[in-house]
A and B are shown apart, each in its own frame.
Chain A
Amino acid sequence: MDIKSIAKQVFNNKMFLIGMIMFFSILTVAVFANQVAPHPYDTINTAQALKPPQSQYLFGTDQYGRCIFSRVVYGSRIALKVGLIVVIIESVIGVVLGLLAGYYGGWLDRFIVFVTDLTWSLPPLIMALAIVTMLGPSLNNVVIAIAVVSWAQFARVVRAKTQAIKNMPYIEAARAFGECDFSILLRYILPNILSPIMVLVTLALPQAILSTTSLGFLGLGAQRPMPDWGLILSDGISYMERAPWISVFPGVAIVLTVLGFNLVGEGLRDLLDPRLKV
C-alpha cells in the first residue's frame, strides 16, 4: 500500500483525525509544560485564592491561590507518563503470556488461561485499591497496581491470535526451514499480530489514565502538592459551590484525553482491519 492511499484513508476517517489532533495537542502540552504554563504548579499565593477564570489565571485559582491552568498543564505529564508506563508493563506481560499459551498449548496454556481468567474476574479498580493500600499510596505503586490487574485483555487477544497464526502454512514452512520456536514466535507470529496489539495499546492507555486519576481522586496516587488531575479534582470538591472551576477543568482534561485516545484506538482498528478496506 502506498503512502497516498494510506493518507486518503486517514483523511476519510474523521473521528481518527480528531482523535489524532487531540492526542498531539495533549502530547505537545505535556512536553512543553514549562513554556505553556504561566505559573509554577505549586506556588502558593493566598492573596489570589479562589479567583474565577480571568486573563491572568485562565482556569482560575484554588484555595491557596495556585493557578489551576498551570496545574492542569503539568498534570498532563503525570497522566501520560503513568499511562504509558502502565501500558508498557501490562502489554509486555500480556503479550509474552499470550504468545506462550497460544503457541505451546497443553498444560502451560491451561495454567495461563486460568490465571488470566482469575485476573479478569476481579474488579480492576477495587483490586488496584487493595494493592495500593497494601503497598502504600504513591505513584509508583499505582503503576504496579494497575499493570498487575489489567494485562489480562492483552493475554487473551494475543493468545487467540497466536492460535490462529500458528496453524498457518508459513509457520509450518518456517519450521521445515529450520527455524527454532523462539525465532518463530519473534519473527513470524509477533509481527503478524502487531496490529491488534497496537489497537489494544491505544485503547488501554485511556483506561490506565482513568484508573490513575481515580486512585489519585481517592488520595492513593500522587501526593500533594503534585498536580495529579484526580487529586486536583478531589481537592476542589469541597469548594464546588463557591469555585466550581477547580474541579471542572481537570475533569474536562481527563475527558478530552480519554476521548482523544479512544478515538485514535478505534480509528486505528478500522484502518488496520483489512476487511473494512474498500
Chain B
Amino acid sequence: MLENPLLSVKDLSISFNTNEGKFNAVDGVSFDVNKGEIFALVGESGCGKSTTAFGLMRLIPKPGEISQGKIIFDGKNLVKLPEDEMPQIRGKEIGMIFQNPLDSLNPVYSVGKQIYEGLILDNIGKQDAWKRVVDIFNDVQISDPKERIESYPHELSGGMRQRVMIAMMLSRRPKLLIADEPTTALDVTIQAQILELIKELRDTFNTAVLIITHDFGVVAEIADKVGVMYAGKIVEVGDVYQIFENPLHPYTKLLMKALPRITKQEGRLETISGTVPNLVSPPKGCRFHPRCPMATDICAVEAPVFKEAEKNHRYCCHLEVKKRGTHH
C-alpha cells in the first residue's frame, strides 16, 4: 500500500483495573483501515471488539484505560492527544453509531433539531445547516425528509432511528465511521437495508467504516477486510475473500461453521464448546487452546506469533499453513 492508512492501530492494549485484578480487555491489537475501506472486527461477546471501538474514540468507561499502543488517525496519535482536543475528533473526524438505535437519540428534541445542533458546532449558518439536515436525510433514504425532521425519536421505528443515527453521524462528514453492532437490534429485512445504506454511503463519500459485529453474515455482506478477535487479541486478519475461502485460525474456522447456511442443510448448527476465558487470568500460551480442537502440547506453553500466509492475510497460530484449497 503506497498511501498511509487512514487509521492505524498499533499494539493497542486497554486495561481494566477491577476488584478482581487488572486485566487487558484488549491486548496488543494492531490493524489498519484505509480510506474508503470497510473493515469488520468479528468475535464473540466479551472478546474486546466494542472496547477497541470505544478506545478509538477515547470513550472507554471507567475503570478502563489505554495502557499501551498507538492509534494513528490521519497522522495524529489519538492516544497522546489531550482530552480537551478529543471533542474536535469525535463526530467531526470519527463518527460512531451504536447497537441500540432505540435509545441513542435524545428524546426531548426532534430528530432534525439534534442533527442541526451538531452542525452548528462547525460554524455553519442556520439556513445552510437546515438545508444540510434535509440533504443528509435524503442521503440516508428517509422519505419525506422535510416532515421527518420535525418528528421526535419515539415517533420513529427502530430502522428509521438507526437511519437518523447514521444521518447524524455522517452530517459532519467524518473520515471514519465506527459502527458498533449497527444491525443487531433490528430485524433481518431492515438489517439488510441498513448494511446496504452503509455501503452506498461509503461509495458516495469515500468514508472508511469500522464495523463491529459477531455475525459473519454481516461480514460477508459488507466487509472488505476482516479482523477476527478472540479474548482481547486479533487472531486472524485478511481480505474478506481470503478469510471466507481460506480461514486459517481454528477459531475462525469454527466461527464459520457456526454460521447458518442456506446451501448446506446438514443437521444441527455447530457451536464452539466452552466459553470465553476470564481475562483476569487468561490461559497460558495460546488463549484459545482450551477450546481448540487442533491444540497440541506447544499451544499450552508458548503464545503463537503472527505468520503471513499470503499477502495481507496473517494469522496467529502454531499450525503451519496448508496449501490454498486443500483444507476443504
- Which residues of A approach B to under 8 Å, CB–CB? 168-170, 172-180, 187-188, 191-192
Contact B165 A173 (CB under 8 A): yes
The residue among A170, A175, A188 with the most chain B CB atoms within 10 A of its own CB is A170
Interface size class of B (residues with CB under 8 A): 20 to 34
The one of A178, A191, A192 that contacts B87, using a Cβ cutoff of 8 Å: A178
Q: Smallest distance from the beta carbon of B181 to chain A beta carbons, Å?
A: 12
Q: Does B68 contact A (CB under 8 A)?
A: no
Q: Does B106 contact A (CB under 8 A)?
A: yes
Contact B96 A176 (CB under 8 A): yes
Q: Smallest distance from the beta carbon of A211 to chain B beta carbons, Å?
A: 33
Residue of A whose beta carbon sits closest to that of B122: A178
Contacting residues, chain B, for A178 (C-beta < 8 A): 87-92, 118, 121, 172
Contacting residues, chain B, for A169 (C-beta < 8 A): 98, 100, 103-104
Residue of B whose beta carbon sits closest to that of A105: B62
Contact B118 A187 (CB under 8 A): no
Whole-angstrom distance between the alpha carbons of A177 and B103 in the complex? Answer: 15
Chain B 67-102 against A: per-residue CB contact (8 Å), 1 yes, 0 no?
000000000000000000001111110011010100
5 tightest A-B CB contacts, nearest first: A178-B91, A176-B96, A177-B91, A178-B90, A169-B103
Contacting residues, chain A, for B286 (C-beta < 8 A): none
The residue among A173, A179, A192 with the most chain B CB atoms within 10 A of its own CB is A173
Whole-angstrom distance between the alpha carbons of A149 and B106 in the complex? Answer: 34
Contact A191 B98 (CB under 8 A): no
Whole-angstrom distance between the alpha carbons of A173 and B109 in the complex? Answer: 14
Contact B100 A176 (CB under 8 A): no
Residue of A whose beta carbon sits closest to that of B93: A178
Contact A176 B103 (CB under 8 A): no
Contacting residues, chain A, for B121 (C-beta < 8 A): 178-179
Contact A170 B59 (CB under 8 A): no
Q: Smallest distance from the beta carbon of B177 to chain A beta carbons, Å?
A: 11
Q: Smallest distance from the beta carbon of A175 to chain B beta carbons, Å?
A: 6
Contact B107 A170 (CB under 8 A): yes
Known contacts A170-B104, A170-B106; is A180 also within 8 Å of B87 by CB? yes
Q: Does B168 contact A (CB under 8 A)?
A: yes
Contacting residues, chain A, for B168 (C-beta < 8 A): 173, 177
Residue of A whose beta carbon sits closest to that of B96: A176
Q: Does B105 contact A (CB under 8 A)?
A: yes
Q: Does B169 contact A (CB under 8 A)?
A: yes
Known contacts A169-B98, A169-B100, A187-B117; is A177 also within 8 Å of B169 by CB? yes
Contacting residues, chain B, for A191 (C-beta < 8 A): 106, 108-109
Contacting residues, chain A, for B42 (C-beta < 8 A): none
- Selected A-B contacts with CB under 8 Å, 6 pairs: A168-B103, A169-B104, A176-B96, A178-B118, A192-B106, A192-B107
Known contacts A169-B98, A169-B100; is A175 also within 8 Å of B106 by CB? no
Q: Smallest distance from the beta carbon of A98 to chain B beta carbons, Å?
A: 18
Q: Smallest distance from the beta carbon of B149 to chain A beta carbons, Å?
A: 17
Contacting residues, chain A, for B229 (C-beta < 8 A): none
Contacting residues, chain B, for A188 (C-beta < 8 A): 106
Whole-angstrom distance between the alpha carbons of A173 and B162 in the complex? Answer: 12
Q: Does B248 contact A (CB under 8 A)?
A: no
The residue among A168, A174, A177, A192 with the most chain B CB atoms within 10 A of its own CB is A177
Contact B103 A170 (CB under 8 A): yes
Contacting residues, chain A, for B89 (C-beta < 8 A): 178
Whole-angstrom distance between the alpha carbons of A170 and B102 in the complex? Answer: 9
Contact B87 A172 (CB under 8 A): no
Whole-angstrom distance between the alpha carbons of A172 and B106 in the complex? Answer: 11
Chain B 153-171 against A: per-residue CB contact (8 Å), 1 yes, 0 no?
0000000000001001100
The residue among A172, A176, A188, A192 with the most chain B CB atoms within 10 A of its own CB is A176
